[in-house]
Amino acid sequence: MRATRTPARPRTPGDRRRLAVLAAPLLLAVPLTACSAAGSDGQTTGPRSGGRLTFALSSDPTCVDPHQAATNDAMYVTRGIVDSLTDQDPRTGRIVPWLATSWEIAANASRFTFRLRTDATFSDGAPVDAKAVKANFDAVHDLGARSILGSGFLQGYRGTEVVDAHTVEVAFDGPNAQFLQATSTPTLGLLSPASLRRAAEERCAGPLAGSGPFTLAGYTPDTSVELNRRDDYAWGSPLWKSPDAARLEAITFRVVPESGVRSGSLTSGQVDAIAGVAPQDETLLKGQKVSVVGRANPGVPVALSANTASPVAKDPAVRRALQAAVDRDEVVDTVLSSSYRPATSSLAETTDAYRDNSPLLAHDPARARTLLDEAGWRPGADGIRVKDGRPLRLKVILGTNFGPNQSALELIQQQVRKAGIQLDLSVLSIADYQKARGAGDYDLAWGNGTRTDPDILRTAFSSKLLNLSRISDPALQRELDAQAAATDPARRAAHVATAQRRILEQGYQIPVFEMTTVFALSKKVHDITFDASSRLQFHDTWLS
């Protein structure tokens, strides 16, 4: 059985260190030491309290309710407003206490008991207690599809029981191991019961009260979000430099959609930091007096997902040949920037239980040709291979959500052409893309997904969920189900490792590069940190 071929070893801190050495220096930047105590004049000054940080976002948050927020830009805002039951160490992936001081997981990861700290309050004065936790999980569940992320986190949610004033028990219909990591996200962050009583649509525009280090002072759609420091805050995550009030007095998030204007505003000092730095702007910014920092998004890297029900892509030899024919390094070097890294597995390096599978993803044109020859795909007159009269042409669907998508695929198109594979690119709107994926009207779909928990593999490849890739593979399914039910992190990581390998070997997915969050900040901004999801955390941030 294939499952035994992979060493069942979880990711250890030792692995992490080795990876970090291999990785570009950008991966060491958690927290961003690049901009720590040294000021722009080289003089070392200590952290300072006070000041207002102006941060330019690339898109309007649209909704500032943490439960409904779905974009990174929205989550930079909501992270400061709410605290979570747990936090996740971006370096080790370990889940640590935050509002919950301890927890137990029982019955195949279908029941979770959390004990809460007793001193935390919401900014409207209400206590953070068991009833509030129940109200929050119930509210996220009630949101349904309005909470795109939450509906996945709470799959099979049965209910929350208030055991005592500071103990809750959350129960699911079946195993749901990813829920523990989900409790560390702002999506399952806690809002005050009074805020939750308002209608879902109203919550989007604020006001909202959370228990976080910042309070929402105002949201003007398409313009800005204002956060103010909460001075009596004292229950911060142990991963922060201090559990007390934040250093910044206030944060202004400005919405600046045009990337050139964002970059110029930073270099001309009109804003202190910017999100969404496009690959083509990075070189320009590095020449100026600003720091450019990036971290790979955890989850599924940017990849071609095969439609295993399509007449050509159902042949595993074709999928494996693609795996070998794509030159990932060339894509990163040519189309992206030094902040990006080629994919090395079916999960990005920053995902929990990630395993390096780069040997499986080596660029090997000769292997690609051999695989296709053996499977009976013979070179045709125009160089495109043919089998049983059917040419080796694959329809690739892609969206325009990420600027370099098309240039990356045009390069891949040339690369695989050398092996005799023809890719036909079809650039679609979000709606058309969804429709084509749902209907199976494609051979390969270009996309990625962000999630720190490896359960994202189940979301993407389980035949019991949406199964957009139309996979039927009992061996893979067994691993995906087993990891969802494993309470022991080591055992869970072993299942995830096998699944990662299986997905690559079967060519269900041809990963290309790791989507990366890149932002730039002026030299006077210090200690903006990436959380485990590669989103930004401002509690420790200070201005010199």
Partner 1 sequence: MKRRLPRTLAQALFVLWAAYTVSFAVLYLLPGDPVTIMAAGGGDASSVSPEQIAELRARYGLDRPVPEQYATALWNAVRGDLGTSVHGGQPVTRLIADALPATLQLAGATLLLALPLGGAVALLGTYTRRRWLRQLLLSLPAAGVSAPTFWVGLLLVQLVSFRWGLLPAFGNDGWSSLVLPSVTLALPAAGLVAQVFAKSLRTALAEPYIDTARAKGAGRARVHLRHAARNALAPPLTVAGVLTGGVLAGSVVVETVFARTGVGRLTATAVTTQDIPVVQGLVVLGACVYVTTHLVVDLLHPLLDPRIAATERPAVTT
Using CB under 8 A as the binding rule, the residues of this chain from 372 to 411 that contact partner 1 are 401
- For 324, phi then psi, to 5°, come to -85, -25
Using CB under 8 A as the binding rule, the residues of this chain from 291 to 320 that contact partner 1 are 299-300, 305
Q: Which stretch in 219-227, 330-338, 367-375, 520-528 sits in contact with partner 1 by CB under 8 A? A: 219-227
In the complex with partner 1, the residue whose CB is nearer, 105 or 205, is: 205
Q: CB of 335: closest distance to partner 1 in angstroms?
A: 19
Pick the binder of partner 1 from 173, 222, 374, 410 (CB under 8 A). 222
**CB-CB neighbours of 171 under 10 Å:** 17
Q: Which stretch in 130-138, 442-450, 470-478, 496-504 sits in contact with partner 1 by CB under 8 A? A: 442-450
Contacts of 366 (CB under 8 A, 6+ apart): none
DSSP-derived 3-state class of residue 346: coil
Pick the binder of partner 1 from 270, 370, 406, 467 (CB under 8 A). 270
- Joined together, the tokens standing for residue 469 give 């890739």
Pick the binder of partner 1 from 84, 237, 350, 448 (CB under 8 A). 448
- Joined together, the tokens standing for residue 162 give 């208030």
In the complex with partner 1, the residue whose CB is nearer, 8 or 465, is: 465
Contact 18, 214 (CB under 8 A): no
Q: Which stretch in 95-103, 107-115, 257-265, 277-285 sits in contact with partner 1 by CB under 8 A? A: 257-265
Contact 316, 506 (CB under 8 A): yes
Q: How many residues bind partner 1 (CB under 8 A)?
A: 56
Q: Which stretch in 105-113, 207-215, 263-271, 309-317 sits in contact with partner 1 by CB under 8 A? A: 263-271
131 binds partner 1 (CB under 8 A): no
451 binds partner 1 (CB under 8 A): yes
434 binds partner 1 (CB under 8 A): yes
Residue window 143-172: x/- pattern of binding to partner 1, with contact defined by CB under 8 A: -xxx-xx-xx--x-----------------
205 binds partner 1 (CB under 8 A): yes
Q: CB of 456: closest distance to partner 1 in angstroms?
A: 5
What is the distance, to the nearest Å, from the Cα of residue 499 to the centroid of all Cα atoms in its chain? 19
Contact 195, 208 (CB under 8 A): yes
List the end-to-end C-alpha distance of the chain, in Å, as a whole number.
59
In the complex with partner 1, the residue whose CB is nearer, 201 or 329, is: 201
Q: How many residues does the chain have?
A: 544
The type of residue at 355 is R
CA 15 to CA 497: how far, in whole Å? Answer: 14
Q: Of 218, 105, 223, 102, which Cα lies nearest the Cα of 166? A: 102
Pick the binder of partner 1 from 244, 330, 356, 432 (CB under 8 A). 432
Using CB under 8 A as the binding rule, the residues of this chain from 24 to 83 that contact partner 1 are 60, 62-63, 70-71
Q: CB of 369: closest distance to partner 1 in angstroms?
A: 30
- For 459, phi then psi, to 5°, come to -55, -40
In the complex with partner 1, the residue whose CB is nearer, 265 or 544, is: 265
Contact 208, 199 (CB under 8 A): no
Within 13 A of 319's CA, how many CA atoms are on the CB side?
Answer: 28
CA 16 to CA 1: how far, in whole Å? Answer: 28
Strand order in the sheet with 167-172: 100-106, 111-116, 167-172, 157-164
186 binds partner 1 (CB under 8 A): no
In the complex with partner 1, the residue whose CB is nearer, 99 or 518, is: 518
Contact 237, 217 (CB under 8 A): no
Pick the binder of partner 1 from 110, 184, 195, 265 (CB under 8 A). 265
Q: Which stretch in 164-172, 261-269, 318-326, 336-344 sits in contact with partner 1 by CB under 8 A? A: 261-269
Residue 483: burial class (beta carbons within 10 Å; 0-12, 13-18, 19+): buried
- Joined together, the tokens standing for residue 404 give 């370099």
Pick the binder of partner 1 from 186, 193, 279, 447 (CB under 8 A). 447
In the complex with partner 1, the residue whose CB is nearer, 155 or 534, is: 155
Q: Of 437, 526, 387, 508, which Cα lies nearest the Cα of 40? A: 526
Scan for tokens 């020449």, then name that residue: 287
Q: CB of 478: closest distance to partner 1 in angstroms?
A: 20
The site for partner 1 (CB under 8 A) is made up of 60, 62-63, 70-71, 144-146, 148-149, 151-152, 155, 199-202, 204-205, 220-223, 254-258, 260-261, 264-265, 267-268, 270, 299-300, 305, 401, 429-435, 447-451, 456, 459-460, 465-466
